[in-house]
Structures are given as structure tokens and as C-alpha cells.
């Protein structure tokens, strides 16, 4: 039940905002998305979480898409903004893994004692979680670029995001349980 509540809290605002922004001028849609993402980043900072590069990648991408909307560099970019945002997330997430600083650490540190932050298992778990998110973001980029029916692309994207949230919740718990069982043996 807690996981279902978490899924609802995390995904519902994104889904509502994605529906609302389809019915407003693109400039207002960009303002709403930037405000939404900035408020989320601010909330994370107020909760004392480490900086996460994904909100910054989103804001830069949305600003680029907004500039494209005004300057009309690319029709394709205007029509595939969500695909570009997901692609920016995928690239950013992958870069954090390659730099050995997986973005999921920013979330995990809120739930794990500081003494374990440098433990190899903590880092490996976060590496794997970030790689799963990278894959989900990349799949969502492809789906949003190739499936142009909103009511097919959006639910599919959100189902993938929900799966990543479940994985992010269940996988670390499984590793923790396996590790504790190994220590007791």
C-alpha cells in the first residue's frame, strides 16, 4: 500500500501536468513545466537531499524547446518535446553512471545511514538503479518520438516510470535482505 501511495504521489502530478499543458499555448506550457520542476528541485533541497542533475537537465531542455518554439529552428523538436526531454534524462542519467556518481544516490542518501554511503554495495545498487532509469528514459524517448497518439504514448510512458519506481523501491530492499542474511550465516 505504501508503494502504491508513493507511485500516486510521484506520477499523478506529472500526468495531470502533461494533460493540462496539451491545452495551453506552448509558452505557458513551458512556464508550467519549469515551475513544476523547479519547485520539485527546491523541495528536494529543503529536504536536505544532495543535488540531482535531472531537474537541471529538464529545465535546460525545456528552455531550449521554448527557444525553438519562438525561433522555429526545428519543427521536429517542436512536435517531439517530450521525446527530447526523455532523451536528455537518459543521457544525463547515463553520464552520472559513467562518472561513478549515479543520480539515484541523491534519493538513496535520504533513506540510508551516512556510514554506508561509501560502501561498495550501496554504490553498486545505486549504479544499477540509475541504469534501469536510464533504460526507462531511453525507451520513453523512443516511444514519445514514434507513437504520436497521446493516449497510447503517455500511459505507456507512465507504466515504464511506475516499473522503474517499483524497481527502485524493491531492488535495494532485496539486496539489503540478501546482505543481512549473508552476514548472519
Helix segments in the chain, DSSP class H: 2-20, 26-46, 53-71, 75-79, 81-98, 105-108, 120-146, 150-184
> Residue 51 sits in which domain range?
2-184
How high does pLDDT run on average in the chain? 84
Predicted confidence (pLDDT) per residue in 74-104, tens digit? 888 878 888 888 999 999 999 999 999 999 9
Number of domains in the chain: 1
Higher local confidence (pLDDT), 45 or 99 = 99
CA separation for the pair 31, 21 (Å, rounded) = 10
What would the grid cell of residue 88 be?
Answer: 536528455
Task: Tell me the whole-structure pTM to 2 decimals.
Answer: 0.81
- Determine the pLDDT at residue 99: 94
Q: SS3 for 131?
A: helix
Q: Which positions ≥6 away from 85 have C-beta within 8 Å? A: 58, 61, 62, 65
pLDDT, tens only, 126-178: 999 999 999 999 999 999 999 989 889 989 998 999 999 999 989 999 998 99
CA–CA dist 16, 22 (Å, integer): 10
Best CA proximity match to 132, nearest among 108, 106, 166, 173:
166
Amino acid at each position: 500500500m505504501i508503494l502504491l501511495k508513493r507511485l500516486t504521489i510521484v506520477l499523478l502530478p506529472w500526468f495531470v501536468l502533461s494533460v493540462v499543458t496539451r491545452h495551453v499555448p506552448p509558452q505557458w506550457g513551458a512556464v508550467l513545466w519549469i515551475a513544476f520542476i523547479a519547485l520539485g528541485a527546491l523541495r528536494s533541497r529543503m529536504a536536505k537531499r544532495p543535488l540531482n542533475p535531472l531537474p537541471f537537465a529538464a529545465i535546460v531542455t525545456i528552455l531550449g524547446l521554448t527557444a525553438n518554439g519562438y525561433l522555429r529552428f526545428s519543427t521536429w523538436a517542436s512536435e517531439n518535446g517530450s521525446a527530447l526531454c526523455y532523451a536528455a534524462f537518459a543521457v544525463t542519467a547515463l553520464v552520472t553512471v559513467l562518472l561513478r556518481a549515479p543520480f539515484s544516490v541523491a534519493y538513496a542518501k535520504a533513506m540510508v545511514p551516512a556510514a554506508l554511503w561509501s560502501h561498495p554495495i550501496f554504490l553498486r545498487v545505486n549504479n544499477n538503479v540509475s541504469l534501469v532509469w536510464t533504460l526507462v528514459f531511453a525507451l520513453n524517448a523512443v516511444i514519445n518520438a514514434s507513437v504520436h497518439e497521446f493516449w497510447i504514448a503517455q500511459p505507456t510512458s507512465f507504466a515504464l516510470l511506475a516499473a522503474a519506481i517499483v524497481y527502485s523501491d524493491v531492488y535495494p530492499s532485496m539486496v539489503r535482505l540478501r546482505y543481512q542474511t549473508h552476514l548472519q550465516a
